[in-house]
Amino acid sequence: MMNRTLAPETSTITHIDFQSPEIDTLANKVNVYSMRETTDETVRIDFVFDAGSLKTSKVIAQLTGDLLFSGSADKSSDEIEEAIDRLGGFTGVEISTERATVSAIGLREHIVTIAKTVIDAMINVNFNTKEINQLLQSKKKKMAISLEKVSTQARRAFLSDLFSNSPYGDLTQLEDYDQIEQGDLIEFHEHKYLSGLQYISIVGALNDEDLNAIKELGNQFSKNEVTAIEYDYSYTPNTIHVEKEQALQTAIRVGRVLFNKQHTDFIKFSVVNTILGGYFGSRLMTSIREDKGYTYGIGSGVAQLLETGYFFISTEVGKEFKDLTLEAIKEEITLLQTDEVSETELSLVKNYIIGQILEQSDGAQAMMDRFISVETYGLDFSYYDKFIKEVNEITPKEVKELANLYLNWEDFTVVSAG
């Protein structure tokens, strides 16, 4: 028998090759990013608009997005869906706080026709009231179901407290659906879709002719200047409990307003976050799941918004473990602030983080996602070189300093629901 207790040698990753997409700029100043060196027949095209929920009310942004394929003067929603399905196509509409992404997905042989159908439908949509009402019915139902979940209740209470002075904290209420006017949707569509195209991204092996056809589609829109709105991100930490008597578990959210990747401490703080709750072997997972068995899962992260970001710890625990869990979280944070992390643990976390970046850059779509996630913040791929360098350089002393700077319990809003 060989000695199985000895681990095989490993080698660390020192460099990752990032490939930039081709960049074309249309007459209307809209950029088209494309990754065309792919090895299969799949194509995904994203049209990204300045139509996120911050640009209006949450409900209007969401409904406008959901109704983009609901029909025009000469085509019903059924006809549009049928046309896309016939070509084996899929569509997607995703509304974030900042942006709306409209996707055309399919195989190469049909993708241009699919994209044309998608764009034609969304340009000519007439927001007929029957479609609006059907959507409202199903939206209200879905929301009522979601509001029953303790995880939803905790997340909503947490965000509305953290961002009480900005639209990030302005959450949809069921009643909001009853105050929708067709005119609101038409107006939002005109300003933020027809005149709000930001960029197009293409992943798939398109030839030049097909690429040009997609560019033509982009030329039908105009691009507005997105103006950053300065909100007041100051807030007072609170402790909030949302009671749900019959719940078997309590959802917990703990955190604070922080920053996004534009901040100088962002990269190094990501290492601190990973140690605390950013991976399966994190301290929170080890203590609260693997040692105590209070939960199926616990994690922490830094959510990034265009202008700011927030740090959060999130879990659902057995109702009887709520206080014990909060104590244990506090303990782990204090430990990070008082004791230096060992070289062994820090080196594991560094290797893990860089391995994950390698995986998250694997494949054309992943590479495009990496590109967009820096481009959005006015950065470029050199950010990742910096990222790898800073991760490799961080010392136990810096981890402790950052934990003391950003992870103080008295700065945290603590929410429980259940």
Q: For 79-168, where are the E strands, in sequence order?
A: 90-95, 100-107
Residue 324 within binding range of other proteins, rule CB under 8 A: no
Choosing from 226, 247, 335, 374, the residue that interacts with other proteins (CB under 8 A) is: 247
Strands 22-25, 31-35: pairing is: antiparallel
Residue 42 within binding range of other proteins, rule CB under 8 A: yes
Closest CA to 65 of 173, 196, 169, 179: 196
CB-nearer residue toward other proteins: 169 or 281:
281
Please report how the helices 208-218 and 108-124 are oriented relative to each other, as an axis angle in degrees rounded to 10. Answer: 10
> Can you say whether the dihedral through the CA atoms of 401, 405, 408, 412 is positive or negative?
negative
- Give one DSSP letter per residue of 105-119, joined into a string: EEEHHHHHHHHHHHH
**Phi and psi torsions of 323, nearest 5°:** -65, -40
Interface pattern 72-111 for other proteins (x via CB under 8 A): -----xx--xx-xxxxxxx--------------xxx--x-
Choosing from 280, 338, 343, 408, the residue that interacts with other proteins (CB under 8 A) is: 280
Q: For 305-374, where are the E strands, in sequence order?
A: 309-318
Residue 237 within binding range of other proteins, rule CB under 8 A: no
Q: How far apart are CA 303 and CA 153, in angstroms?
A: 18
Residue 14 within binding range of other proteins, rule CB under 8 A: no
CB-nearer residue toward other proteins: 56 or 70:
70
Choosing from 129, 234, 236, 246, the residue that interacts with other proteins (CB under 8 A) is: 246
Q: How far apart are CA 174 and CA 34, in angstroms?
A: 40
In the numeric block, the tokens 């976050």 are attached to 273
Shortest distance, position 40 Cβ to other proteins, whole Å: 6
CB-nearer residue toward other proteins: 28 or 76:
76
Cα–Cα distances in angstroms (integers) from residue 57 to residues 262, 271, 416, in the given order: 27, 35, 27
Choosing from 365, 373, 376, 392, the residue that interacts with other proteins (CB under 8 A) is: 365
Choosing from 316, 332, 375, 398, the residue that interacts with other proteins (CB under 8 A) is: 316
The piece of 96-104, 194-202, 216-224, 241-249 that touches other proteins (CB under 8 A) is 241-249
The piece of 54-62, 184-192, 349-357, 402-410 that touches other proteins (CB under 8 A) is 349-357
Shortest distance, position 34 Cβ to other proteins, whole Å: 17
In the numeric block, the tokens 């303990």 are attached to 331
Residue 355 within binding range of other proteins, rule CB under 8 A: yes
The piece of 48-56, 187-195, 233-241, 289-297 that touches other proteins (CB under 8 A) is 289-297
Q: How far apart are CA 244 and CA 265, in angstroms?
A: 38
The piece of 120-128, 311-319, 372-380, 407-415 that touches other proteins (CB under 8 A) is 311-319
CB-nearer residue toward other proteins: 260 or 365:
365
Shortest distance, position 139 Cβ to other proteins, whole Å: 9
Judged by CB under 8 A, the number of residues near other proteins is: 73
Shortest distance, position 291 Cβ to other proteins, whole Å: 7
Pair 26, 215: CB distance under 8 Å: yes
Choosing from 41, 323, 327, 340, the residue that interacts with other proteins (CB under 8 A) is: 41
Residue 264 within binding range of other proteins, rule CB under 8 A: no
In the numeric block, the tokens 């990747």 are attached to 261
Residue 293 within binding range of other proteins, rule CB under 8 A: yes
Shortest distance, position 287 Cβ to other proteins, whole Å: 11
The piece of 21-29, 52-60, 140-148, 376-384 that touches other proteins (CB under 8 A) is 140-148
Choosing from 36, 116, 241, 292, the residue that interacts with other proteins (CB under 8 A) is: 292
The piece of 147-155, 186-194, 305-313, 331-339 that touches other proteins (CB under 8 A) is 147-155
Query: SS3 of 12, please?
Result: coil
End-to-end CA distance of the chain: 53
DSSP 8-state assignment for residue 404: H
Query: 292: left (phi > 0), else alpha (psi -120 to 50), else beta?
Result: alpha
Q: How far apart are CA 305 and CA 240, in angstroms?
A: 23
Q: How far apart are CA 110 and CA 183, in angstroms?
A: 35
Query: SS3 of 311, please?
Result: strand
